[in-house]
Amino acid sequence: MKPNLENYEKFKELHLIEHDWGYLLWKYGTDDNVEIEDILAVEQRKGYGTQMMKELIGQCSPKLIFVYTKSGNTVAQAFYEAMGMQKGGELDDNWIYWQHYNILKNKLCKNDSV
Protein backbone atom coordinates (compact mmCIF):
# COMPACT_ATOMS: atom_id res chain seq x y z
CA MET A 1 0.00 0.00 0.00
CA LYS A 2 1.35 3.43 -0.94
CA PRO A 3 0.60 6.56 1.08
CA ASN A 4 -1.56 9.24 -0.48
CA LEU A 5 1.12 11.92 -0.83
CA GLU A 6 -1.39 14.50 -1.97
CA ASN A 7 -3.05 14.39 1.45
CA TYR A 8 0.29 14.09 3.26
CA GLU A 9 1.51 17.40 1.84
CA LYS A 10 -1.29 19.35 3.48
CA PHE A 11 -0.32 17.94 6.90
CA LYS A 12 3.13 19.51 6.63
CA GLU A 13 1.93 22.93 5.57
CA LEU A 14 1.60 25.51 8.31
CA HIS A 15 -0.90 28.34 8.03
CA LEU A 16 -0.38 31.72 9.67
CA ILE A 17 -2.88 34.28 10.87
CA GLU A 18 -0.76 37.34 11.57
CA HIS A 19 -1.38 40.80 12.96
CA ASP A 20 0.76 43.51 14.56
CA TRP A 21 -0.73 42.43 17.89
CA GLY A 22 -0.31 38.66 17.56
CA TYR A 23 -0.38 35.49 15.50
CA LEU A 24 -1.97 32.06 15.32
CA LEU A 25 -0.15 29.18 13.62
CA TRP A 26 -2.16 26.12 12.58
CA LYS A 27 -2.02 23.02 10.38
CA TYR A 28 -4.26 20.28 9.09
CA GLY A 29 -4.05 16.99 10.95
CA THR A 30 -5.42 13.56 10.24
CA ASP A 31 -9.10 12.87 9.64
CA ASP A 32 -9.81 16.43 8.50
CA ASN A 33 -8.92 17.94 11.86
CA VAL A 34 -7.02 21.16 12.55
CA GLU A 35 -4.28 21.55 15.15
CA ILE A 36 -3.35 24.92 16.59
CA GLU A 37 0.44 24.91 16.78
CA ASP A 38 0.93 28.26 18.50
CA ILE A 39 -1.01 31.37 19.41
CA LEU A 40 0.40 34.56 20.87
CA ALA A 41 -1.12 37.96 21.57
CA VAL A 42 0.99 40.91 22.73
CA GLU A 43 -1.61 41.71 25.40
CA GLN A 44 -4.00 39.35 27.11
CA ARG A 45 -7.69 39.98 27.78
CA LYS A 46 -8.03 42.42 24.86
CA GLY A 47 -9.94 40.04 22.55
CA TYR A 48 -6.98 39.37 20.26
CA GLY A 49 -6.96 35.60 20.83
CA THR A 50 -10.71 35.41 20.27
CA GLN A 51 -10.38 37.41 17.05
CA MET A 52 -7.71 35.03 15.73
CA MET A 53 -9.83 32.00 16.67
CA LYS A 54 -12.70 33.54 14.68
CA GLU A 55 -10.35 34.03 11.72
CA LEU A 56 -9.24 30.40 11.98
CA ILE A 57 -12.87 29.30 11.86
CA GLY A 58 -13.33 31.47 8.76
CA GLN A 59 -10.34 29.89 6.97
CA CYS A 60 -11.15 26.21 7.40
CA SER A 61 -14.03 23.88 8.22
CA PRO A 62 -12.59 20.75 9.82
CA LYS A 63 -14.34 18.15 11.95
CA LEU A 64 -12.41 19.12 15.07
CA ILE A 65 -10.01 21.83 16.21
CA PHE A 66 -7.50 20.81 18.85
CA VAL A 67 -4.43 22.14 20.65
CA TYR A 68 -1.88 20.88 23.16
CA THR A 69 -0.87 23.04 26.11
CA LYS A 70 1.60 22.42 28.91
CA SER A 71 -0.13 21.15 32.03
CA GLY A 72 1.20 24.14 34.00
CA ASN A 73 0.04 26.76 31.49
CA THR A 74 -3.15 27.74 33.28
CA VAL A 75 -3.52 30.98 31.29
CA ALA A 76 -3.74 29.06 28.00
CA GLN A 77 -6.05 26.49 29.56
CA ALA A 78 -8.42 29.21 30.77
CA PHE A 79 -8.40 30.77 27.29
CA TYR A 80 -9.28 27.51 25.52
CA GLU A 81 -11.98 26.72 28.06
CA ALA A 82 -13.44 30.22 27.54
CA MET A 83 -13.47 29.48 23.79
CA GLY A 84 -15.66 26.46 24.53
CA MET A 85 -13.00 23.81 24.05
CA GLN A 86 -13.10 20.59 26.06
CA LYS A 87 -10.19 19.39 28.15
CA GLY A 88 -9.14 15.92 27.07
CA GLY A 89 -6.43 13.67 28.41
CA GLU A 90 -2.90 14.40 29.50
CA LEU A 91 0.07 13.25 27.43
CA ASP A 92 3.71 13.88 28.36
CA ASP A 93 2.97 16.90 30.58
CA ASN A 94 0.57 18.34 27.99
CA TRP A 95 -3.19 18.64 28.05
CA ILE A 96 -5.20 18.36 24.86
CA TYR A 97 -8.09 20.73 24.31
CA TRP A 98 -10.56 20.04 21.51
CA GLN A 99 -13.97 20.93 20.18
CA HIS A 100 -16.11 20.21 17.14
CA TYR A 101 -15.80 22.93 14.51
CA ASN A 102 -19.55 23.63 14.35
CA ILE A 103 -19.79 24.08 18.12
CA LEU A 104 -16.90 26.55 18.12
CA LYS A 105 -18.33 28.38 15.14
CA ASN A 106 -21.74 28.69 16.80
CA LYS A 107 -20.21 29.92 20.06
CA LEU A 108 -17.64 32.35 18.68
CA CYS A 109 -19.38 33.62 15.56
CA LYS A 110 -23.05 33.70 16.52
CA ASN A 111 -23.26 37.44 15.81
CA ASP A 112 -20.72 37.47 12.96
CA SER A 113 -20.98 36.66 9.28
CA VAL A 114 -18.21 33.99 9.29
What pTM was computed for the model? 0.84
What is residue 32's predicted lDDT score, i.e. its pLDDT?
83
pLDDT (tens digit per residue) in 60-75 = 999 999 999 999 999 9
Give the number of other CB atoms < 10 A from CB of residue 110: 8
Structural domain boundaries of the chain? 19-108
Q: What distance lies between CA 85 and its chain's CA centroid?
A: 9
CATH superfamily of 19-108: Gcn5-related N-acetyltransferase (GNAT) (3.40.630.30)
Q: What's the pLDDT at 2?
A: 41
Distance CA 20, CA 11 (A): 27
| DSSP structure class, residue 85 | P
